[in-house]
């Protein structure tokens, strides 16, 4: 019996989804931060909030494709053989990022629902998850804001770790997620 060949890189679909999700997350953070430059209730501020909601919900949809891709295509073998704490830290960080990509959009959807607002999604109106409830909206909004702050740190840590692997440890952690030809 022959041993299956080691996988050197992530599958193309996984790579595309990874970088697309990054662009969407940048968009989500940018829209919510840039809204502060406009007065409350102004059309630009409301447009940025709507884009924040729609991009966040796009992340919620695409994260399931990422999970499916992970189940279909084998991930590259670990480049951190023998370094148990690094493998564990990577697993915790990745799990936390997936919790963020699922939990934050759901929390946003819950907030809009509990505030009795429309849930916009590129010309569609999604159904409310809960009935109007101001107390619930406030509680979930606090959690959502905390999650946003945690997200900045998780994303930064993820990026920093990949750069440390590439430039200091000189392994292939980063290159196996870079599209070919770049």
Q: What is the dihedral of CA 124, 126, 132, 136, to 10 degrees?
A: -120
Contact present, 115 and 49 (Cβ < 8 Å): no
For the chain, give every domain's residue range.
12-177
- For 55, 57, 72, 87, 173, the CA distances from 91, given in Å and listed in that order, are 26, 25, 19, 6, 13
Instruction: Report the run of H or E that residue 119 belongs to, with start and end.
Output: strand 119-121
Q: Looking at residue 82, what is its pLDDT?
A: 63
Q: Looking at residue 2, what is its pLDDT?
A: 54
Q: Is 10 helix (H, G, I), strand (E, B) or coil?
A: coil
pTM for the full model?
Answer: 0.91
The distance of Cα 45 from the centroid of its chain, to the nearest Å, equals 23
What single string gives the DSSP state of each residue in 140-159?
Answer: HHHHHHHHHHHHHHHHHHHH
Given pLDDT bands bounded at 50, 70 and 90, which one contains residue 141?
very high
Distance between CA atoms of 44 and 34, rounded to whole angstroms?
10
Q: Looking at residue 42, what is its pLDDT?
A: 98
Give 62's contacts (C-beta < 8 A, 6+ positions apart): 17, 20, 21, 24
Nearest to 13 by CA among 79, 62, 78: 62
**Residue 40 φ then ψ, to 5°:** -55, 135
Task: Please write the tens of the pLDDT for every residue from 60-113.
Answer: 999 999 999 999 998 887 766 668 888 899 899 999 999 999 999 999 999 999
Contact present, 151 and 96 (Cβ < 8 Å): no
Task: Please write the tens of the pLDDT for every residue from 144-177.
Answer: 999 999 999 999 999 999 999 899 988 888 999 9
Q: Is 11 helix (H, G, I), strand (E, B) or coil?
A: coil
Q: Which fold has domain 12-177?
A: Fumarate Reductase Cytochrome B subunit (1.20.950)
Write down the mean pLDDT value for the chain: 93
Mean pLDDT throughout 24-30?
98
Residue 117 scores a pLDDT above 70: yes
Residue 182 scores a pLDDT above 80: no
């Amino acid at each position: 019996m022959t041993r299956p060949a080691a996988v050197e890189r992530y599958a193309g679909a996984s790579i595309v989804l990874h970088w697309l999700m990054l662009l969407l997350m940048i968009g989500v953070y940018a829209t919510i931060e840039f809204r502060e430059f406009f007065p409350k209730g102004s059309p630009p501020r409301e447009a940025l909030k709507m884009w924040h909601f729609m991009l966040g919900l796009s992340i919620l949809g695409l994260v399931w494709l990422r999970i499916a891709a992970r189940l279909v295509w084998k991930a590259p073998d670990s480049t951190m053989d023998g370094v148990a704490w690094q493998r564990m830290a990577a697993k915790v960080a990745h799990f936390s990022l997936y919790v963020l990509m699922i939990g934050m959009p759901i929390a946003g959807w819950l907030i809009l629902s509990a505030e009795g607002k429309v849930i916009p999604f590129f010309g569609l109106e999604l159904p409310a998850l809960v009935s109007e409830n101001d107390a619930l909206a406030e509680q979930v909004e606090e959690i959502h804001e905390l999650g946003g702050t945690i997200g900045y740190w998780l994303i930064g840590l993820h990026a920093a770790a990949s750069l440390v692997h590439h430039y200091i440890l000189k392994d292939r952690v980063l290159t196996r997620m870079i599209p070919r030809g770049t």
